[in-house]
Structure 1
Amino acid sequence: MAHDHDHAHHHAHHHGDLDWAAMAPHLEAEAELYTPLYERALAWLGRKQTEPGLIVDAGSGPGVISALLADAFPGARVVAVDAAEPLLERARERAERRGVADRFSTLAGELPPILDDLDYPADLIWAGNSLHHLGDQRAALTAFAGRLAPGGTLALVEGGLPVRFLPRDIGIGRPGLQARLDAAQADWFAEMRAGLPGTVDVPEDWPHLLASAGLRPTGTRSFLLDVPPPATDRARSCLVTTLTRVREACADRLDATDTATLDRLLDPDDRAGLLHRRDVFFLTARTVHTAARIDAPR
């Protein structure tokens, strides 16, 4: 699963395409699974970042990372920004449960234009796997940069390593299933990008793109999530839900043997399925690129 992420994990780029209220529990569970990874990323970011006054979580989804940002920077106000109101409702509920509602708010609308509705420039913008759902990524980065206060930081989460969850040979189907899933998803992702409004193809050299947006790149680091076998129930559940969506999106890109193997892996009653196997694990990495605004406000 090469492109899964925190909000539109499965690459739905038109918000009307999905029932976000129905998807919200899975999106929350998956983001919670990734919490140790993001806690390490935010600790690294905190060592580079002076205490921010305003943090924006751009493409926040149900607000799991928004809440982690509030924890990591206890003096900051956090604004969760997303186009899906059902997910922002979950974000507000989470902030209430975690006792940070007094410095937490939400903003509903499409990125990047909705950022113009912020009360004042942000000291930190966290864009977690949301940029690649915007057709003109270079223009979007320039818009993000324009909403930063002087000295503010943009933390861009793009790239990393695909999720690995089974050995190469799993005893059913043809060995190497995950490599073929990666290839099918890469094709799907390219098609998704090509279909976005105003798509502009750019090499995914994120530090260069950040610099072209008028920012000064300040670092890139990847963070690992390693759940060894046998995987936890939470990891297995997330894998089943995510792999179900992968099968739906990529069935026409896989041969009959691989789709039959996926069906067995997803069958809750099959002893060879993900819910029962002892060799299931969860291994992935996310890459964070940071850049600072050093010019005067426009």
Structure 2
Amino acid sequence: MGDHQHGHHHDPTHIDWEAMSETLERRAEIYAPLTAQIIERLRAVRPEPRRIVDAGSGPGVISCALAEAFPQAEVVAVDGAGALLERATARAGRMGVGSRLRTCLADLPEGFAEAGEADVIWLGLALHHIGDQRAALAECARHLVPGGALVLLEGGLPARHLPRDIGIGRPGLQARLDAANEEAFTAMRAALPGAKDEVEDWAALLTAAGLTHVGTRTHLLDLPGPVPEQVRAHVVAVTTRLRDVAADQLSPDDLATLDRLLDPSDKESLHHRPDVFLLATQTVHLATKA
């Protein structure tokens, strides 16, 4: 799940994506080197797509990267949050790809049909927000042209931002945060409309959707400290949300440590520490349609 946090400890399905727009955009910009690696893998399978659908596009950072990488392609950014699509349109204009990017306001899986047929569907960290993932993949596959490719981003390892022992609180705080986040993710999934338990064997699920699993690979983003301010701001935002998600599951001591880490006036905080870093992975499953 990388550094995604899911829901709120009172309402696991409620995520205000529009309120998170700046955070989402910053994350995607920081992860751009990793995205570039994935795009190169896609190029080897589908070198000249004419139509690319970025399903669950958010603020369009990846949509615009795809438009830049494939100058012959039309890119359709599909998302259920209008404010995020407005950001995508603005970014496309700034990058000079506005004539080839259009937006489609729709939730998934309905958005696959509304976006229309595609040579490539990029499904990045969006499938796990759909209750019936198996049915959603089948719907996705229906809207790929023969020979089309699906790029599915699901899985990976929790991102790391701090050493095990940070000099305040009990060592191993990040591992405890990860465990709490896993519980929150499970609650989020269970509360989704039409939620169905599914073994997360993505290769098998892609095959069941009628696609050919081409391969799975995990890509690395390694940004050692000292990090640029943009990365530091990202780590602060991620940790703030993790504290919210995990608040009911952590000890008072751990919550007190998190409060210190998030306090700009504390010299031990994430705002000032020289040992903040970003080490993250993203697992990508590539499939094609016969």
CA distance in 2, matches of 1:144, 1:117: 11
Distance of aligned partners of 1:103 and 1:115 in 2 relative to their CA distance in 1, 3 Å threshold: same
- Equivalenced residues, count: 288
Shift of residue 27, structure 1, vs aligned partner: 1.1
Give the corresponding residue for 1:199. Answer: 195
After TM superposition, what 4+ stretches of structure 1 lie above 6 angstroms from structure 2? none
Determine if contact 2:6/2:181 at 8 Å carries over to the other structure.
Answer: no
Equivalent positions of 1:257-268 (< 5 A) are 257-268=253-264
Give the corresponding residue for 1:147. Answer: 143
CA distance in 1, matches of 2:20, 2:107: 19
In the alignment, does 2:3 pair up with 1:4?
A: yes
In the alignment, does 2:156 pair up with 1:160?
A: yes
In the alignment, does 2:172 pair up with 1:176?
A: yes
Shift of residue 19, structure 1, vs aligned partner: 4.6
The correspondence for 2:238, drawn from 233, 239, 242, is 242
Shift of residue 41, structure 1, vs aligned partner: 1.1
Shift of residue 22, structure 1, vs aligned partner: 3.3
Give the corresponding residue for 1:88. Answer: 85
Give the corresponding residue for 1:281. Answer: 277
Distance of aligned partners of 1:26 and 1:95 in 2 relative to their CA distance in 1, 3 Å threshold: same
Shift of residue 17, structure 1, vs aligned partner: 4.1
Residue 39 of structure 2 aligns with an amino acid whose one-letter code is L
Shift of residue 116, structure 1, vs aligned partner: 1.4
Equivalent positions of 1:125-136 (< 5 A) are 125-136=121-132
Q: Percent identity?
A: 54
Structure 2: stretches of 5+ with no match in the other structure: none
Give the corresponding residue for 2:252. Answer: 256
Give the corresponding residue for 1:60. Answer: 57
Shift of residue 219, structure 1, vs aligned partner: 1.2
Give the corresponding residue for 1:186. Answer: 182
Residue 148 of structure 1 aligns with an amino acid whose one-letter code is L
The correspondence for 1:212, drawn from 192, 208, 213, is 208
Shift of residue 69, structure 1, vs aligned partner: 0.7
Distance of aligned partners of 1:3 and 1:195 in 2 relative to their CA distance in 1, 3 Å threshold: farther
**Secondary structure of residue in 2 paired with 1:41:** helix
Shift of residue 20, structure 1, vs aligned partner: 3.9
**Secondary structure of residue in 1 paired with 2:247:** helix
In the alignment, does 2:30 pair up with 1:30?
A: no
Shift of residue 11, structure 1, vs aligned partner: 4.4
CA distance in 2, matches of 1:21, 1:29: 14
Please, what TM-score do these two structures have when normalized by structure 2? 0.95
Distance of aligned partners of 1:4 and 1:160 in 2 relative to their CA distance in 1, 3 Å threshold: same
Structure 1: stretches of 5+ with no match in the other structure: none
CA distance in 2, matches of 1:43, 1:99: 21
CA distance in 1, matches of 2:39, 2:201: 22
RMSD: 1.6
In the alignment, does 2:94 pair up with 1:97?
A: yes
CA distance in 2, matches of 1:51, 1:274: 43
**Secondary structure of residue in 1 paired with 2:155:** strand
**Secondary structure of residue in 1 paired with 2:154:** strand
**Secondary structure of residue in 2 paired with 1:175:** coil
Determine if contact 1:3/1:10 at 8 Å carries over to the other structure.
Answer: no
Give the corresponding residue for 1:106. Answer: 103
CA distance in 1, matches of 2:159, 2:51: 32
CA distance in 2, matches of 1:286, 1:173: 29
Shift of residue 37, structure 1, vs aligned partner: 0.7
